[in-house]
Amino acid sequence: MNYTVINRDVQVGDIYLTAVTSSSILLIGDADIINLASAFDTPPESLFVGPFVPLTPK
Amino acid sequence: MKRLSIVQQLNSKTVIISSVLQIGDSREIISRSKVLAVQRQYELFLGSEGEGTFPIFTKPIQKLDINAEAIRINRLNESPIISVRSIYVIAASTSAVIHIGSTSTINGETRIKHIRQLAENYSPPSPALSAPQPTIRITKDE
């Protein structure tokens, strides 16, 4: 597969960001390969109502 | 050839938890973080917690498998410059990357497990005695 990119003039003014989090990226430049992943686990079972017991993996 | 990045001003307050703030070119960035976020209604730490492994920390994450050699990329840099006047980023956290300059490979992975524990018979303070507060009710199906 052939893929052609023409990079013309890029001029950006001001970038205003609150946060970059969880495998995110802010890139001013070129890159060849970017591979980012993030996994969240917040199922309903992660909410316990009752006595405070130690955490047990399951 | 890669382009030149010009940033006149960068203002960043916090870079934490396996995050990278890179000024200049790089070749490879690999950032990983695992987070076990436990929230209890009362301040309580039972000790030696979080030592067991939850599946989320070990399960392989499927990644897009691309044969980079099968794709011919032709870059025509008509302008060799990427110019930015100013960047303001308050925070970078959990394997985030702020990169001014070019790179080849970036590989990031974050795994987050949330656990919340609430007391069974918690009675909120009487509204007559305290200032008005927004109420949050969490119900759980048995």
Beta carbons of B31 and B93 less than 8 angstroms apart: no
Q: Does B138 score more than 70 pLDDT? A: no
If one counts every other C-beta atom within 10 angstroms of the C-beta of residue B86, the result is 14
Distance CA B93, CA B16 (A): 5
Chain A 8-37, residues with CB within 8 Å of chain B CB atoms: 8-37
Mean pLDDT of the B88-96 span: 95
Q: Does B116 score more than 90 pLDDT? A: no
Confidence at residue B14, expressed as pLDDT on a 0 to 100 scale:
95
Q: Does A3 score more than 70 pLDDT? A: yes
Distance CA B54, CA B34 (A): 11
Distance CA B29, CA B22 (A): 10
Distance CA B56, CA B9 (A): 39
Percent of chain B with pLDDT over 70: 85
pLDDT for A20-39, tens place per residue?
999 999 999 999 989 999 99
pLDDT for B22-75, tens place per residue?
999 999 999 999 998 888 888 887 777 777 788 899 999 988 877 778 889 899
Q: How far is CA B104 from its chain centroid? A: 21
Search chain A and give the residue with CA nearest B39.
A47
Mean pLDDT of the B76-90 span: 96
Of A11-15, B9-13, B60-64, the poorest mean pLDDT is in: B60-64
Distance CA B25, CA B99 (A): 8
**Mutation target vs A (from B30, B117, B140; most A CBs, 10 A cutoff):** B117
Q: Does B131 score more than 60 pLDDT? A: no
**Over chain B, what is the mean pLDDT?**
85
Distance CA B17, CA B49 (A): 20
Interface predicted TM-score (ipTM): 0.83
List strand residue ranges (DSSP E) for chain A, in order: 2-7, 10-21, 25-28, 33-41, 47-49
Q: Tell me which residue in B56, B99, B102 faces A39 most closely, judged by beta carbons.
A: B56
Confidence at residue A19, expressed as pLDDT on a 0 to 100 scale:
96
Confidence at residue B46, expressed as pLDDT on a 0 to 100 scale:
77
Beta carbons of B52 and A56 less than 8 angstroms apart: yes
Residues of B in contact with A35 (CB under 8 A): 63-64, 105-108
Residues of A in contact with B88 (CB under 8 A): 14-17
CB-CB under 8 Å, B114 with A46? yes
